[in-house]
A = this chain, B = another copy of it.
């Protein structure tokens, strides 16, 4: 699967503007609508385009507290990990869960909640009751000068 300059240009644009009409996209990359649409469909079928999503404003939804949580597990057995991941998947306040390298933690979680009360609820009633969770360190986000879903496209 190799991408020419048209494909790369398409990807760069639609990463930022997912709902651009095909005509506008075609114009932006200097191609007529037909081949432009064909290329997009191909990129979708290849799986390179995973999907289209809508980004909401967290603050306007009342979600003002974002927290990165480093989780340590007591034992590093496969069933400990899969059980943790299954439990975590039930909580909609968890936006990301990454298994990471590093001495201090096994998992890194990105969590979003309304306020500190909700955070406490999440921590005490949802996270720490999960079997095997032996340590939790929380870092609260003060501001996020960069926050994008757009991946770098190589030249």
Contacts and interface: CB of A to CB of B under 8 A. Distances in A.
Contact of A89 (B14, B92, B146, B152): B146
Given A97-B146, A140-B101, A52 B49 contact: no
A11 to B, nearest CB: 6
A71 interface: no
Given A54-B52, A55-B51, A61 B153 contact: yes
A78 interface: no
Interface in A37-55: 46-55
What is the oligomeric copy number?
2
B95 A144 contact: no
Contacts of A95: 146-151
A61 B46 CA distance: 11
A139 B92 contact: no
A19 interface: yes
Given A18-B53, A48-B61, A92 B152 contact: yes
Contacts of A138: 102
Interface string A85-128: 10011001111111111100100100010100000000000000
Interface of A: 1, 11, 14-19, 46-58, 60-63, 66, 68, 85, 88-89, 92-102, 105, 108, 112, 114, 137-154
